[in-house]
Amino acid sequence: MTSQRLPAESASIQSVERALDILFLLADAKSSLTVGQIAGQLGVHNSTASRLLSTLAQQNVVVQSRDGYRLGLGLLRLTHVVLNELNIRTVANPHLRRLCQETGHVIYLATLFEGDELYLDQIDTEESASKTSWIGRTIPAHTASGGKVLLAHLDDEAIAAYLERDLISTTRQTITAPEHLLAQLSAIRERGYAISQDEYLLGFSNVAAPIFDRSRKNIAVVALSGPTTQLPLERLNELASQVVTTASAISIELGYTLNGKGKNPNESRRSSTYRLTHH
């Protein structure tokens, strides 16, 4: 049985497509475009084009001038995020590969997006090369070491906002009690890395450390992961130093500098939001 879209749903999708078409038209235009010009190129009525432009203008992704419409500064918010993601992957990749070779475990690069841990890159060992890629996937931040590192470096208000969420459990080991998670985040900041065993997936454990940018904000993490049988607690703590060293090397390449005390990168600024933002 084939599914059919409802009229309202189809209209909404069409509006999104037309709004994107407008952005691409303005990007290719050498000067501002009038409502009439945009409507003509889209093949719609002036009223339809005007309504779409008004909506886009509310988000500051287009602006109206005397000559018509052009792209707005609101798009910088999106492009800045994309460029930073591309930059951090480029910078981090050789460091991640080196760590993978040295330890024999899968290495991940992740960041925080809407309260979830978002995987940006993955370096597999030869033994794990055929397994599923996690790049682009998200998991609840409180269920693994990488997400906990990212949460730990949020400011108190942002952490409180996260704790108000429904802290779901994916295994029996997942920490879902807000007071226990809060205590863990405090310990992670002091220690400089996080360890997780069987919290997101039974049989898998990981250790993660923070990456800081030039503004001293934690923007990503390096995480090492593998079977719990190969990564008991003692082994995770041994590998933590290599993970921290790798994360620090990436941070320095991104422009991070040590604070006045010359140590403890965890004294860096704590972010005020758990959206994916880079400054």
User: What CATH number does the domain containing 30 carry?
Assistant: 1.10.10.10
Counted domains in the chain = 2
Residue 1 lies in a domain: no
Distance of CA 194 to the CA centre of its chain: 18
Residues 127 and 229 in one domain: yes
Distance of CA 229 to the CA centre of its chain: 29
Q: Name the residue range of residue 20's domain.
A: 7-72
Residues 197 and 128 in one domain: yes
Do the strands 138-140 and 204-212 form a parallel or antiparallel pair, or are they unpaired?
unpaired
Count, residues in the chain: 279
Token pair for residue 19? 């709004």
Whole-number Å distance between alpha carbons of 92 and 105: 16
Among residues 72, 101, 117, the one where a domain terminates is 72
Residues 106 and 186 in one domain: yes
Among residues 57, 72, 87, the one where a domain terminates is 72
Three-state DSSP state, 209: strand
Residue 272 lies in a domain: no
The pLDDT value recorded for residue 78 is 73
Written as one letter, the residue type at 62 is V
Q: Residues 76-112: pLDDT tens digits?
A: 777 766 766 668 999 999 999 999 999 999 999 999 9
Three-state DSSP state, 50: helix
Torsion, Cα of 170, 114, 89, 191 (10° steps): -60
Residue 133 bridge partners (DSSP)? none
Residue 235 lies in a domain: yes
Mean pLDDT for the chain overall: 87
Residue 278 lies in a domain: no
The pLDDT value recorded for residue 146 is 98
Residue 273 lies in a domain: no
Q: Residues 166-175: pLDDT tens digits?
A: 999 999 999 9
Residues 135 and 148 in one domain: yes
Q: Residues 121-158: pLDDT tens digits?
A: 999 988 765 477 888 889 999 999 999 999 999 999 99
Q: Percent helix, strand, coil in the chain (nearest 5)?
A: 45, 20, 35
Residues 43 and 171 in one domain: no
The CATH number given to whatever domain includes residue 234 is: 3.30.450.40
Among residues 17, 50, 72, the one where a domain terminates is 72
The answer to pTM > 0.85 is no
User: In terms of Cα–Cα distance, which of 191, 195, 199 is closest to 231?
Assistant: 195
Residue 88 lies in a domain: yes
Residues 128 and 66 in one domain: no
- The stretches of 213-261 forming alpha helices (DSSP H) are 233-253
Q: Residues 238-251: pLDDT tens digits?
A: 999 999 999 999 99
Residues 105 and 176 in one domain: yes
Lowest pLDDT segment from 214-218, 229-233, 256-260: 256-260
The pLDDT value recorded for residue 276 is 35
Residue 276 lies in a domain: no
Whole-number Å distance between alpha carbons of 207 and 170: 18
Residues 92 and 157 in one domain: yes
Residues 124 and 262 in one domain: yes
Residues 93 and 142 in one domain: yes
Residue 274 lies in a domain: no
Residue 272: CB partners within 8 Å, gap ≥ 6? 154, 155, 157, 158
Residues 145 and 63 in one domain: no
The pLDDT value recorded for residue 185 is 97
The pLDDT value recorded for residue 279 is 28
The pLDDT value recorded for residue 260 is 41
11 pLDDT above the threshold of 60 = yes
Residues 204 and 247 in one domain: yes
